Structure 1
Amino acid sequence: MLVDTGSRDVPAHICHHRRSEDGCADCKVRLISVCAGLALAELEELEALSQHLTLDKGHTLFGQGEPANAVYNVIAGALRLTRLLPDGRRQVMGFALPGDFLGLALRECFSVSAEALGPVRTCRFGRQDFAAVVEAKPHLLRSLHARAGYELTLAEDQMLLLGRRTAEEKVAAFLLSLRDRFARTGHLSVTVELPMGRQDMADHLGLTIETVSRMLSRLDRARTILLVPGGVRLLDMDRLEQLAAG
């Protein structure tokens, strides 16, 4: 099925949910999302405006420069957020994980593209409908301010990440950041999933893919991490934190 996100069609499946087991009240990421402060009746009101949208790997949720006519709450999966530079190079700005809200910036067009790294489920709200709900509910606005503060922290961390750090320090800081973000969703584990590929990590960290692979192998040989299928196991947290603080 194709869903119109405003300026073009995107291969996806839409599910209009109403008070089902997949509804807002039972959403697994509600408590870490902007919806956390809403009462049950308010959740039902919000649910009436929403659509469930699922994407397969490689499908685009929205593209850079497209009209920002919707906001999205990531329920499951991960998306790569990229920006195409004027010279044609690609910069990976970040990765959206469960609980993240996309499209909240007050821009007429999306400044990045969001592409699914695997199967993804999101909750979609029309921007005008969502804005009307926010205007009527000051406590939801406070949640949005908190979310904006969280995203600002991520942006500041990214600036530090791309600053005067060695390649090994960048990789260590990235792994710890992912661990902390997954922990917010309740996934407290020393094994960190890496839904993104080595090239995505490289483009995000300002490194080459060869350097990222070499740093991961170095950390693995030093028994700081253990490379496992689909991710890494963090073995020496003290060493990783020492590197990340560099």
Structure 2
Amino acid sequence: MNTSGNGRPSVDIARPPRDPSIDHIHPCRACDVRQFSVCNVLDAPDLQRLAEVVTTITLPAHRAVFHEGDPAEHLYNVTSGCVKLYKLLADGRRQVTGFLFAGDFLGLALEDDYAYSAETVSEATLCRFPRRRLERLLEDLPKLEKRLLGNASNELAAAQDQMILLGRKSAREKIASFLVNLAGRAERRGQPSDPLPLPMSRTDIADYLGLTTETVSRTFTQLKTQRVITLLPGGMVALTDRLAIERLASGG
């Protein structure tokens, strides 16, 4: 049993059984995260149509998916690994705007060019959709179009939360909020949230939270010393005192 963001216990999410009617579809038949992805709203015939326009790609760690300003020719769905989104500021600094995991969608663009850059944090596998072909397909798949619009709304809400995180919280509160958010996302995907994998570097976290790398490292050490978290091998973090870190995240 896990603990929800408000401290109350929550029941683990069970993965639904695979639908045998789509077992013949490639590459969707082998996708373990379809139930968390935008395509989970589609039935077997519509999923077949989507599968006809998709290409599966695997990229090593630290490889660009696309750069800010590139023509927005493709959209992507992460099926494994971690991808970071970032923008380069006018003074050359980098602002990481998000981390995406299996089931997350990226590449939505209002203009003809990407408004941000995307780079793999770890080795990642993605479904790649040609933008124009997908847009034409959406005319016949209103459920998928609605789901993508929902994704865009969620991105806007996440951006608003990020503004509060950067402007109103201390370093300890930012780190705590970051960990609680990642744990909550893992739980919603039905994945273990404790210990929590942190594939991103301390510099990536610093660029996301508006801190220095030294401050991030020092804060992690402080939380470890206070036995709020435990730093484990392989970039894993155990939330030793979940209630304490949730109180810290909420400013308590």
Q: Is residue 25–residue 43 contact of structure 1 (8 Å, CA) maintained in 2?
A: no
Are the counterparts in 1 of residues 70 and 114 from structure 2 also a CA contact under 8 Å?
yes
* TM-score, scaled to structure 2: 0.87
1:209 alignment partner, one of 184, 209, 213: 213
The within-5 A match list for 1:80-229 is 80-229=84-233
More strand by share: 1
CA RMSD, Structure 1 to Structure 2 (Å): 1.6
Once the two structures are TM-superposed, the CA of residue 21 in structure 1 deviates from its matched residue by 7.7
Which of 219, 240, 249 is the aligned partner of 1:244? 249
- Do structure 1's residue 235 and structure 2's residue 235 form an aligned pair? no
Residue correspondences, number: 229
| Counterparts of 1:168 and 1:222, CA distance in 2 | 12
Matched-pair identity in %: 44
Flag structure 2 segments of 5+ consecutive residues without an equivalent. 1-21
What is residue 60 of structure 1 aligned with on the other side? 64
The alpha carbon displacement at 1:32 in A equals: 1.4
Query: Does structure 1 conserve the Cα–Cα contact (< 8 Å) formed by 2:76 and 2:128?
Result: yes
How far apart, in 1, do the equivalents of 2:182 and 2:64 lie? 22
Alpha-carbon distance in 2 for matches of 1:22, 1:219? 46
- C-alpha spacing 1:22/1:196, structure 2 compared with 1 (3 Å): farther
Give the letter for the 2:185 counterpart.
R
By relative contact order (CA 8 Å, sep 6+), the higher-ranking structure is: 2
* 8 A contact 2:109–2:115 mirrored in 1: no
Write out per-residue CA displacement over residues 196-241 of structure 1, whole angstroms, 9 at most, x where no aligned residue: 0000000110001111011101111111100112121001111111
Structure 1 residue 113: Cα displacement: 1.2
Alignment partner, residue 12 of structure 1: none
Q: Aligned partners of 1:162 and 1:150: how far apart in 2? A: 18
Contact (CA 8 Å) 1:191, 1:232: kept in 2 or not? yes
- CA deviations on 1:42-71 (whole Å, 9 max, x unpaired) are 111100101001100111110111000110
| Deviation at residue 189 of structure 1 after TM alignment | 2.8
Work out whether residues 25 and 40 of structure 1, in 8 Å CA contact, stay in contact via their aligned partners in 2.
no
Look up the match of 1:77.
81
**Unaligned runs of at least 5 residues, structure 1:** 1-17
Q: What SS does the aligned partner of 1:115 have?
A: strand
Describe the SS at the equivalent of 2:167: coil
Query: Is the partner of 1:80 in helix, strand or coil?
Result: strand
| Structure 1 residue 184 displacement after superposition | 2.5
Return the alpha-carbon distance in structure 1 between the equivalents of residues 27 and 167 of structure 2.
42
State the 1:30 CA deviation: 1.3
2:83–2:118 CA contact under 8 A, matched in 1: yes
Q: After superposition, where does 1:22-61 map in structure 2 within 5 Å?
A: 23-61=27-65
- Deviation of residue 175 (structure 1)? 0.5
